């Protein structure tokens, strides 16, 4: 079968365009966590809009697997790498790998543990000093600045979770009528949040407020409370679609909007700038925003 010169030229140009398409490797700590799923979908959408190829890998909560994935991206010759870290403490090693390969690296969502970020490495996320502060100030006001507070910690290896917890503790310390009486991890998981709340209730803990590091744990706490007659204020963070639904039903009383779509989109934008050799600040901040039943509708619209 003969191929005309014009068709052959089109095929060659198409292949050339494909070969020249910039490729980004993306390693996510988990694929199946509500908030991270939104970030991943946002990265995918933004990459396609910019004509970029993107390869996703699920680290499944395993630092070693995530390290292997980075090495795989480097071996495949990707133009940039985006990482949602499994563990903040693991990022210096990931940074070193990318730097040695001279490949731009963007951390997204979870704060990297590096003391400083070198040129070509950027963190895109939200300033966790705002998150727990907004959450706890709102809960404190609802409780008339009195009561016992229990904190559900996301993950003890996550710098973001530790900062959110510290935020809550600092707000509580401001008010003489309030104190932290419990503080335990539930690993950002709904079922673990429910189990922890059931455990506290079963032990007869005197709790007036639950400040959870994310919506999933807050929803779990609310599920446990639904089985009791206890009236306890519950707050989450992230304003996920499920979190907003729980807020609308008054199962939780407050959440804090963390812009998952904005983080995903900005991480791709930053990666492309770094590929082009453009200068980017080492931290690109996406602001947190307090969400209550009074203003939640605009966040419902943002999440759709």
Residue 83 located in a structural domain: yes
Last residue of a domain, one of 257, 278, 298: 257
Mark whether 231 and 115 lie in a shared domain. no
Distance, in Å, from the CA atom of 130 to the CA atom of 267, rounded to the nearest integer, reads: 20
Mark whether 192 and 252 lie in a shared domain. yes
Residue 302 located in a structural domain: no
Mark whether 41 and 188 lie in a shared domain. no
Mark whether 250 and 270 lie in a shared domain. no
Mark whether 63 and 159 lie in a shared domain. no
Q: Please tell me the total count of domains within the chain.
A: 2
Helices (H), the chain: 5-20, 34-49, 63-76, 91-101, 128-142, 159-174, 190-202, 215-225, 241-248, 260-275, 297-302
pTM exceeds 0.85 for this model: no
Q: Which residues pair with 284 in a beta bridge?
A: 124
Mark whether 136 and 230 lie in a shared domain. yes
Report pLDDT for 21. Answer: 82
Distance, in Å, from the CA atom of 80 to the CA atom of 274, rounded to the nearest integer, reads: 8
Using alpha carbons, list the distances in angstroms from residue 237 to 25, 179, 199, 241, 247: 28, 20, 22, 12, 11
Report pLDDT for 8. Answer: 42
Task: Give pLDDT < 70 ranges for the chain.
Answer: 1-20, 303-304
Using alpha carbons, list the distances in angstroms from residue 24 to 17, 133, 256: 16, 35, 30
Tell me, what DSSP letter sits at residue 159? Answer: H
Q: Which domain holds residue 141?
A: 128-257
Residue 7 located in a structural domain: no
Distance, in Å, from the CA atom of 127 to the CA atom of 285, rounded to the nearest integer, reads: 7
Mark whether 106 and 186 lie in a shared domain. no
Report pLDDT for 5. Answer: 54
Among candidate residues 232, 260, 235, the one with its CA nearest the CA of residue 33: 260
Mark whether 70 and 160 lie in a shared domain. no
Domain with residue 85: its CATH number is 3.40.50.2300
Among candidate residues 206, 89, 222, 211, the one with its CA nearest the CA of residue 154: 211
Q: Which residues pair with 165 in a beta bridge?
A: none
Residue 3 located in a structural domain: no
Report pLDDT for 35. Answer: 87
Q: Give Rg (Cα) of the chain.
A: 22
SS3 193: helix
Mark whether 213 and 69 lie in a shared domain. no
Mark whether 111 and 135 lie in a shared domain. no
What's the chain's average pLDDT? 92
Among candidate residues 114, 171, 182, 185, the one with its CA nearest the CA of residue 143: 171
């Amino acid at each position: 079968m003969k191929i005309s010169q014009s068709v052959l030229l089109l095929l060659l140009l198409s292949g050339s365009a494909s070969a020249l398409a910039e490729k980004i490797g993306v390693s996510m700590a988990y694929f199946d966590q509500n908030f991270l799923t939104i970030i991943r979908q946002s990265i995918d959408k933004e990459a396609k809009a910019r004509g970029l190829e993107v390869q996703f890998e699920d680290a499944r909560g395993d630092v070693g697997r995530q390290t292997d994935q980075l090495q795989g991206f480097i071996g495949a010759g990707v133009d940039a790498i985006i990482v949602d870290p499994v563990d903040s403490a693991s990022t210096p090693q990931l940074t070193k790998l990318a730097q040695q390969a001279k490949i731009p690296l963007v951390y997204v969502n979870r704060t990297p543990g590096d003391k400083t970020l070198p040129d070509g490495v950027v963190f895109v996320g939200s300033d966790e000093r705002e998150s727990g502060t907004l959450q706890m100030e709102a809960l404190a006001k609802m409780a008339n600045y009195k009561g016992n507070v229990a904190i559900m910690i996301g993950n003890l290896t996550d710098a973001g979770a530790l900062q959110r917890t510290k935020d809550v503790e600092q707000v509580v310390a401001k008010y003489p009528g309030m104190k932290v009486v419990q503080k335990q991890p539930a690993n950002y998981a709904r079922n673990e949040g429910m189990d922890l709340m059931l455990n506290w209730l079963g032990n007869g803990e005197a709790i007036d407020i639950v400040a959870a590091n994310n919506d999933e744990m807050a929803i779990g706490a609310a599920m446990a409370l639904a089985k009791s007659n206890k009236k306890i204020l519950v707050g989450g963070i992230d304003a996920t679609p499920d979190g907003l639904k729980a807020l609308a039903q008054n199962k939780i009383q407050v959440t804090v909007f963390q812009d998952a779509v904005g983080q995903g989109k900005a991480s791709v934008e930053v990666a492309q700038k770094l590929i082009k050799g453009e200068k980017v600040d080492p931290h690109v901040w996406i602001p947190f925003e307090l969400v209550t039943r009074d203003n939640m509708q605009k966040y419902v619209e943002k999440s759709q």
